[in-house]
Amino acid sequence: MLRIPCPYCGVRDEPEFTFGGPSHVTRPPPDCDDATWTSYLFNRKNPADVHLERWQHVHGCGRWFNGARDTRTHEILTTYVMGHPPPAASDA
Amino acid sequence: MKRSKGPHRLPYGGQIDRTRRIAFSFDGRTYQGHPGDTVSSALLANGVRIVARSFKFHRPRGVFSSGVEEPNALLQLGAGTRSVPSARAPMVELTEGLQARSQEGWPGVNFDVGRVLDFTSSLWAAGFYNKTFIWPRWHTYEGMIRRLAGLGRAPRQADPDRYDVENIHCDVLIVGAGVAGIRRALDAARDGARVVLAEEDPHLGGEAAWDGSTIDKVPASDWLRQATQQLVRHSHVRVLTRTSAVGYYDHDVVALLQGIESSQRDSARERFLIVRAKRVVLATGTIEQPLIFDHNDRPGILLAGAAREYLLRYGVAVGSRVLIATNNDSAYALARHLQEAGVTLAGVTDTRYSVSESLKAGLRSLGIDVFTRSIPTDTSGFSKLRSVTVARLSKDTQRVEALQTLRCDALAVSGGFSPALHLYAQAGGKLAYDETSGVLQPVTTHPSIELAGSAAQAVPVGPRVSPVGNTRRQWVDLLHDATVADLELALRENYTSIEHVKRYTTVGMAADQGKTSAAVTLGVVSRLRGIAAGALGHTTLRPPVTPVTLGAIAGRETGERFAPRRHLPMHDWHVARGAILQEFGGWQRPVAYPRADESREAAFLREARAVRTAAGLLDGSSLGKIEVHGPDAQDFLDRFYINNLKTLQPGRARYGLMLRETGILFDDGTVVALSPDHLLLTTTSGNAGRVFQWLEEWHQCEWPHLNVAITAITEQWATLSLAGPNARTILRRLGTDFNFAPDAFPHLALRQGRLLGLPARIYRVSFTGELTYEINVPADSGPKLWEALLEAGLGYGLEPIGLDALMLLRLEKGFLHVGTDTDGTTVPDDVGWGKVASGKTADFIGRRSLALAEHVRPDRLQLVGLTSVARADAQAAAKPFITGAHLRLPKSPNATDGWITSAGIAVVSGEPIALAMLRGGRAHFGTEINVYDAGVPVARAQVVSPPFFDPSGGRMNA
């Protein structure tokens, strides 16, 4: 069970959260080509490394936020509020 | 030869209460023990040598250990609903009246007909089952083999005991309350930390509690008493005995299983404790390892540390003439203790070439023979050990030079000590095989874990495996009855990875999870493959470390508390009226209200007919309801629907479809505008939560600049759906300020006002095809309005209706039911909404996906209606269609061209009707097709364009 630091509430247990997949995925404009669109729909990186992802504290404050998690250790390096830029690799 | 006394209770010694006796039974015979005994110590004290028959060969087996690692003495405890299978006898405290049974062996462990398997053991090598019992299929043999294998029996009834789950937060969790664990607990407590100290045993102190040693120059018992007093003085220290740490999970969450003493079991039988610790100290001690030689499984052969514990803790001698075989220093003390207790020593063998002179001299001065460079190579005896053949090892330890036979009735073996690092490995700590100690040792540090006590120490050992003998008779895994020969076979068949060796031979896969076999296996495989054991890696150590009662994990969340049932506002009325209730999306919903002696089918047909001819009242309160407030509410919601919502006027409602970004249909419902900045949408009952989350996610993550607030109000409003030609007349009979005149309140309009003095929102939307008012009032006022409506409907044919009737009425109208008629591939055009989607100029979620080539193929599955084609015998035509039945177009090359998604009997005409998803369906209106059930054509159907009733919609627009 992960212990996730919600930027609004503090550290809480994983069952209080919903995982929302990779963050900082940009929605392409509607006039993009099929390949760009389907890549946006289906292709995701799956790094054995630091992964930027979003979570919702669904059984808490209800807020979505972003986080950086090392997929090898599940260590959560940081969490930050929506709209903020991802941490530089050196910070994470 | 004098008859051997075997294991027995000594006249003095140990920490049992000899003033009191406890009666218990084993395999139907009654025995006596004392408070302080475990089941295994009491069995040994009573001279019971055989406690089990082995898993495959049905060989007699005796108690092998004194702890969690026990591979032989797994017993069935108690009877009836409280029976516990595979209880590890050394871990079970003896209690008055306890009943224990051996699990394998028929008719019993002392005479077992299955023993014939042992005489044919060469047939029963690893993989034998997989290679042999394959014709016609494994399941033909499974029952017989499982019975023969004789695992414990789980009770078939529900567990009558209660279990608790508790959440704990602390600064330091210390696992293991031996001396090292207690010291860490005291240190942490003095620093003001919140400490949890978990100990598997009923007592603190580990071996120091009974081994007579001294700590800090005082007798261990005095030290422990003082330390315990200090611990309990700290209010922020929690000491948990009878508590095993069973799993180490991400972020230092550790699961503990606490057994509750039976005398204090008025609450729960066990507790499952979930500990969130900032720091964890593992003072988990070690698990002694065996030596490998021929017939190393006979009753009377056990671990040296166990022999010491039975002697010093329980006053039990494991035999009357004991041979000790070791490869390390630890067993020498046992020899001295046994001698002091008056037990005869057959000698001490040590596989090492050089042994400390003082150790040897210490024993020889007591008249005990010490044989260095020596290892047992074989044993004799049948149900009890008679003698052990001991060989002198060559200098390179690969050969034997001289043999002698030593008479004994017990053999205490020590093959080294494996630190109990299961939790450490589960936490991500890395382990590697260490040649010096012959076991896995930590090779990394862990940021949150400190290893303490003997778990952090490596004990150097000599050779562990006899270089000679018959490997079929050299047991590696006693519980799964796997031998060195099985390991050889696995390697011969090229299962070289240690994980493959484990699975092919099942070594380490039994209930003891390889606690006394995994390290030995690594050593043997290393020798057989001729590569360093460190290069083999090791099998994964997974939770649980020791078996966990499933009930403890569930805690109190069983039965009615497993998941909450959601009750509609009018639930009590439905129950009182005898409604058939079924769960949909967590809600208990009435599917029909049968009258006395009425079948469910007759009831819902009557209810549906009432709606078509008079009126019906449905409790639709589970309908998802979400409000969106704010200046951007209309712009925001317009992005979710394929329909244009920007032109939606206040007081009007619009039906809409919502897609996922992939273009796949997600949900449908109505959007109504209460005012330009206050919109209300409805969702299907099962999707209310998901749609709310969906809106929130897009608002928070993608469009935070849109000024809206989203509120889920499903539970706050009762929804009463009044449908049928008499609906208006009935409503007008209630005290109201609404104007229900058709031109003042047309179809797809919303009005707010007061009904029976209650604040009400009423929409005219229809899922039945009849004139329908969907009346929303505050949830707690729902029952009042419900009963008032039914009363107003007396004389107007009003009936309460359930979901069955609703679903039939909407089928007749060809109205889509998302999730029933659609699946994870359906796009709007498939269900006839393509023009609406393509006609919308603004972007919406999923819009771009609709242009993908896959989504515009002409041969996609499309929603169509089916009617029955009369056959020669007219009765067959009246048979209803089967939901899920497959369809094939004439001369189709395909195995299937689609399937029926909804089926029923038309309310008015009585004809079978269905909705179906059919390949290129809309191009086939008028075509006759075959309907298949389980591959057999069962009916002919005509493809039609729904609806089946009132195609102009005049009734619902009335």
Radius of gyration over every alpha carbon of chain B, rounded to an integer in angstroms: 38
d(CA B361, CA B369): 10
Q: Which of B85, B82, B110 lies closest to B97 in space, CA to CA?
A: B82
Return the pLDDT at B571: 98
Cis peptide before B467 (omega within 30 of 0): no
CA distances from B353 to B263, B374, B378, B393 (A): 52, 9, 20, 9
For residue range B668-719, what is the model confidence (pLDDT) as tens digits? Answer: 999 999 999 999 999 999 999 999 999 999 999 999 999 999 999 999 999 9
d(CA B169, CA B251): 13
CB A70 within 8 A of CB A51: yes
Percent of chain B with pLDDT over 70: 94
d(CA B116, CA B98): 32
Nearest by CB to B701, from A30, A64, A76: name it.
A64
Contact across the interface for B849 and A37, Cβ inside 8 Å:
yes
CB B6 within 8 A of CB B300: yes
Task: Say which residues have a Cβ less than 8 Å from residue B563's Cβ, sequence separation at least 6.
Answer: B586
d(CA A46, CA B644): 38
End-to-end CA distance of chain B: 108
For residue range B312-339, what is the model confidence (pLDDT) as tens digits? Answer: 999 999 999 999 999 999 999 999 999 9
Return the pLDDT at A92: 44
- Find the DSSP H helices in B15-67: 39-45
Return the pLDDT at B20: 97
State the Cα torsion A70-A74-A80-A86 to the nearest 10°: 10
d(CA B279, CA B701): 35
Nearest by CB to A30, from B252, B276, B843: name it.
B843
Task: Reply yes or no on whether the pLDDT at B135 is more than 80.
Answer: no
Nearest residue on chain B to A42, alpha-carbon basis: B662
For residue range B393-407, what is the model confidence (pLDDT) as tens digits? Answer: 999 888 999 899 999
B349, containing H or E segment: strand B344-350
- Find the DSSP H helices in B625-669: 633-638
d(CA B205, CA B672): 71
Cis peptide before B746 (omega within 30 of 0): no
d(CA B686, CA A72): 36
d(CA B474, CA B417): 20
Contacts of A3 in chain B (CB under 8 A): 250-253, 276
Task: Reply yes or no on whether the pLDDT at B138 is more than 80.
Answer: no
d(CA B419, CA B428): 16
Coil, strand or helix at B737: coil
Nearest residue on chain A to B710, alpha-carbon basis: A62
Structure tokens that stand for B199 in this block: 């100990």
- The most distant pair of C-alpha atoms in chain A lies apart, rounded to whole Å, by 42
Residue B1: pLDDT band (50, 70, 90) is very low
Task: Reply yes or no on whether the pLDDT at B826 is more than 90.
Answer: yes
Q: Which of B262, B243, B252 lies closest to B98 in space, CA to CA?
A: B262
Nearest residue on chain B to A59, alpha-carbon basis: B693
Nearest residue on chain B to A4, alpha-carbon basis: B251
Nearest residue on chain A to B847, alpha-carbon basis: A30
CB B321 within 8 A of CB B410: yes
Contact across the interface for A38 and B843, Cβ inside 8 Å:
no
d(CA B450, CA B107): 50
For residue range B915-953, what is the model confidence (pLDDT) as tens digits? Answer: 999 999 999 999 999 999 988 999 999 999 999 999 999
Nearest residue on chain B to A77, alpha-carbon basis: B251
Gap from B847 CA to chain A (nearest CA, Å)? 8
Q: Which of A80, A89, A16 lies closest to A53 in space, CA to CA?
A: A80
d(CA B533, CA B441): 12
d(CA B225, CA B202): 15
Q: Which of B680, B709, B665 lies closest to B776 in space, CA to CA?
A: B680
CA distances from B288 to B6, B302, B416, B685 (A): 23, 10, 6, 59
State the Cα torsion B295-B297-B298-B301 to the nearest 10°: 110
- How many Cα atoms sit within 13 Å of B819 on the Cβ side? 13
Task: Reply yes or no on whether the pLDDT at B144 is more than 70.
Answer: no
Percent of chain B with pLDDT over 90: 87
ipTM reported for the complex surpasses 0.85: yes
CA distances from B32 to B67, B72, B77, B262, B737 (A): 21, 22, 17, 19, 86
d(CA B342, CA B164): 47
Contacts of B852 in chain A (CB under 8 A): 34, 37-38
Residues 643..662 of B with a Cβ closer than 8 Å to A: which?
Answer: 661-662
Interface test with B, best of A6, A11, A17, A34 (most B CBs within 10 A): A34
Residue B736: pLDDT band (50, 70, 90) is confident
pTM: 0.89
Task: Reply yes or no on whether the pLDDT at B62 is more than 60.
Answer: yes
CA distances from B615 to B721, B722, B771, B836 (A): 10, 7, 9, 32
Task: Reply yes or no on whether the pLDDT at B427 is more than 80.
Answer: yes
User: What mean pLDDT value characterizes chain A?
Assistant: 93
CA distances from B72 to A34, B38, B189, B472, B665 (A): 64, 15, 40, 19, 58
Return the pLDDT at B925: 97
CB B71 within 8 A of CB B510: yes
Task: Reply yes or no on whether the pLDDT at B877 is more than 70.
Answer: no
Gap from A12 CA to chain B (nearest CA, Å)? 10
Contacts of A38 in chain B (CB under 8 A): 852
Please report, as a single letter, which amino acid is at residue B562.
Answer: F
Residue B132: pLDDT band (50, 70, 90) is low
Interface test with A, best of B246, B848, B850, B857 (most A CBs within 10 A): B848
Nearest residue on chain B to A54, alpha-carbon basis: B701
d(CA B955, CA B769): 7
Return the pLDDT at B944: 97
CB B620 within 8 A of CB B717: no
CB B253 within 8 A of CB B274: yes
Q: Is B693 in CB contact (< 8 Å) with chain A?
A: yes
Interface test with A, best of B700, B705, B844, B845 (most A CBs within 10 A): B700
Return the pLDDT at B87: 95
For residue range B782-798, what is the model confidence (pLDDT) as tens digits? Answer: 999 999 999 999 999 99
d(CA B887, CA B901): 11
Q: Which of B761, B570, B729, B764 lies closest to B653 in space, CA to CA?
A: B764
Return the pLDDT at B318: 97
Contact across the interface for B696 and A62, Cβ inside 8 Å:
yes
d(CA B658, CA B687): 11
Q: Which of B858, B865, B859 lies closest to B916 in space, CA to CA?
A: B865
Please report, as a single letter, which amino acid is at residue B127.
Answer: G
Contact across the interface for A30 and B848, Cβ inside 8 Å:
yes
Binding-site residues on chain A for chain B (CB distance < 8 A) = 1-3, 13, 18, 20, 23, 27-28, 30, 32, 34, 37-38, 41, 54, 56, 58, 62-64, 73-74, 76, 82-83
Q: What secondary structure does DSSP assign to B208-245, as a single string? A: GGTS--EETTEEHHHHHHHHHHHHHH-TTEEEESSEEE
Centroid of chain to Cα B490: 31
Task: Reply yes or no on whether the pLDDT at B149 is more than 60.
Answer: no
Centroid of chain to Cα A34: 25
Determine the average pLDDT of the residues in A56-72: 96
For residue range B155-205, what is the model confidence (pLDDT) as tens digits? Answer: 889 889 999 999 999 999 999 999 999 999 999 999 999 999 999 999 999
d(CA B466, CA B415): 12
**Residue B895, exposed/middle/buried by CB under 10 A (0-12, 13-18, 19+)?**
exposed
- Find the DSSP H helices in B617-700: 633-638, 688-697
Residue B486: pLDDT band (50, 70, 90) is very high
CB B333 within 8 A of CB B366: no
Radius of gyration over every alpha carbon of chain A, rounded to an integer in angstroms: 14
Q: Is B557 in CB contact (< 8 Å) with chain A?
A: no
Contact across the interface for B704 and A38, Cβ inside 8 Å:
no
Return the pLDDT at B154: 85
Contact across the interface for B693 and A83, Cβ inside 8 Å:
no
Nearest by CB to A74, from B251, B696, B848: name it.
B251
Please name the residue that has the structure tokens 């392409």: A28
DSSP annotation of B497 reads S
Nearest residue on chain B to A58, alpha-carbon basis: B693
For residue range B583-636, what is the model confidence (pLDDT) as tens digits? Answer: 998 999 999 999 999 999 999 999 999 999 999 999 999 999 999 999 999 999
Residues 260..289 of B with a Cβ closer than 8 Å to A: which?
Answer: 274, 276
Interface test with B, best of A32, A41, A65, A84 (most B CBs within 10 A): A41
Contact across the interface for A82 and B701, Cβ inside 8 Å:
yes
Q: What secondary structure does DSSP assign to B545-556, as a single string? A: SS---HHHHHTT
CB A66 within 8 A of CB A84: yes
Number of alpha helices (DSSP H) and beta strands (DSSP E) in chain B? 23, 52
Contact across the interface for A37 and B693, Cβ inside 8 Å:
no
Q: What secondary structure does DSSP assign to B104-131, as a single string? A: S-SB-SSSBGGGHHHHTGGG--TTHHHH
Determine the average pLDDT of the residues in B51-55: 89
Chains A and B form CB pairs within 8 A to the count of 53
Gap from B423 CA to chain A (nearest CA, Å)? 15
Residue A88: pLDDT band (50, 70, 90) is confident
